[in-house]
Structure 1
Amino acid sequence: MTDQPRLLSPRRLEAFSDGVFAIAATLLVLDLSVDHLGSISNNDQLWHALGAISESVLSFVISFLLLCMLWMVHTRQFEYVKRVDDPVLWLNSLRLLGVVLIPFTTSVNADFSELLLGRLVLPLNFLWVLLFDWALWRYVTTSPRGLLGDMSDDEVRASSRRALGAVVTGLVVVLLAPFIGSWAFLAFAVVPPLDAAIRGRRRRRR
């Protein structure tokens, strides 16, 4: 009889993941530098130079906030994950592969926003991470190996719905980005109030 792969504590996975998120968030700001402003001698020139890098600043702010959102999703998930196995380790690693690429795709988005591919790389990068967020949560909640801690069926369904909703929103962002660029990420601002409205309606029906 073959040995079953043993289950592990998630503590080292969480520590590694937190480190990756922290480094990715820090690297985002490296694209913003006073060297890009050129020679400045008065306020008008400074305002003009700051306006010239506004696309880079917008991409930085959006990417930082969304990266924080992804970290919060990861934190909430692993508040309930009590054990991990090899598939969880691989799914999380593939998610982090997308996370470490965010500083690069943010730079591409800022520097080549006039090109279709330039507008798409960042949304596609976020969609990659969201897909593996959902896949990991789906695996953990359906695994017969008891990876999940105390969580009611209603809570599991609600969390799974939010993870899938984030993927759908990511697809919407990819579809909108060719037309409105980074502003497409505002679609994520719609998700929390929409989810709250859906939950409120379901409570009233009960």
Structure 2
Amino acid sequence: MQPDHSNSQTAIHHLARLSDCVFALAMAITFMGFKLPETVQLLSNLEVNQFLTGQLKSLGIYIIAFILVAFYWINHTQQFSYFKRTNETHLFIYTLYLMCLLVIPFSNDLVFRLSSNPFAKIWFNTNIFLIGLLSFTSWIYATHQNRLVGEDLDIQIIRSMQVKALIEPVCALISIPVALVSPDFSDLVWLLIPVVSLVLNKALRQTSRSNVMPVSNQLVE
């Protein structure tokens, strides 16, 4: 007798909608770190220019946080495109994942206010690391023996998603010791993410083609 997955399939759709809402909320709240001075209308042109120049560092911090959350959202949508169902353990893992995600605005605000403090940067990096670790754990749990994904899901897709899920947390780990030496320089580590992603996607495509070619040759023979 086949197990009834209807409730589980409904739950995965609800979890996907909840996750999208949490991602949108985290992105929106992160932007609230910007505040205009109460006397903004009384400022001279020179003071306005000085104020805007002083916000450039905060803008850079916001952009980094937004891009990191965006990368996690992309990874999240990719994972959910393969999930067929869920269970209590997976829901618990993903709830922890969303909880850490909602801490991002606080971590970002902490960096806003203490941008030169290494421990503020370490807190932020640890937050990013935990999100990535839980995302990786969720995928490993879901794909183990095709527990929550389709039986025909290609092993190459499973492995590539595993590697992609580790990009952000590995960069976060690298950024922690850098923050102890230079808090400002640690932000540059995040520039590795799009570069590593591009190189990794290219490598995975080449690997996929190399695995397909022998099969095609065998069919011809």
TM-score range (shorter-chain normalised) is 0.7 to 0.9
The CA distance in 2 between the partners of 1:100 and 1:168, in whole Å, is: 20
The CA distance in 1 between the partners of 2:36 and 2:50, in whole Å, is: 13
What SS class does the counterpart of residue 103 from structure 2 fall into?
Answer: helix
Counting matched residue pairs gives 201
Deviation at 1:15, TM superposition (A): 1.1
The CA distance in 1 between the partners of 2:41 and 2:96, in whole Å, is: 43
1:195 corresponds in structure 2 to 200
Query: In structure 2, what residue type is equivalent to 1:123?
Result: N
Q: Indicate which of 68, 71, 79 corresponds to 1:69.
A: 71
Identical columns (%): 23
Q: Give a deviation string over 1:31-83, Cα, whole Å, max 9, x none.
A: 11212785753322112111222222111111111111111111110011010
| Greater shift in the superposed pair: 92-101 or 193-202 | 193-202
Q: Give a deviation string over 1:179-205, Cα, whole Å, max 9, x none.
A: 213232212122212203422553458
Q: How does 1:41-190 map to 2 (within 5 A)?
A: 41-143=43-145, 145=147, 147-149=148-150, 150-178=152-180, 179=182, 180-190=185-195
For the 8 Å contact 2:175–2:186, the answer to whether it is kept is no
For the 8 Å contact 1:123–1:177, the answer to whether it is kept is no
The CA distance in 1 between the partners of 2:30 and 2:174, in whole Å, is: 24
Q: Does 1:8 align with 2:8?
A: yes
Q: Does 1:31 align with 2:36?
A: no
Gaps of 5+ in 1: none
1:17 corresponds in structure 2 to 19
Instruction: Provide the alpha-carbon RMSD of the alignment.
Output: 2.4
Structure 1 residues 109 and 130: alpha-carbon distance in aligned structure 2, compared to 1, 3 A threshold: same
Q: Give a deviation string over 1:79-106, Cα, whole Å, max 9, x none.
A: 1101000111011011111110001100
What SS class does the counterpart of residue 34 from structure 1 fall into?
Answer: coil
Query: In structure 1, what residue type is equivalent to 2:19?
Result: S
For the 8 Å contact 1:80–1:148, the answer to whether it is kept is yes
TM-score by length of 2: 0.81
For the 8 Å contact 1:77–1:137, the answer to whether it is kept is yes
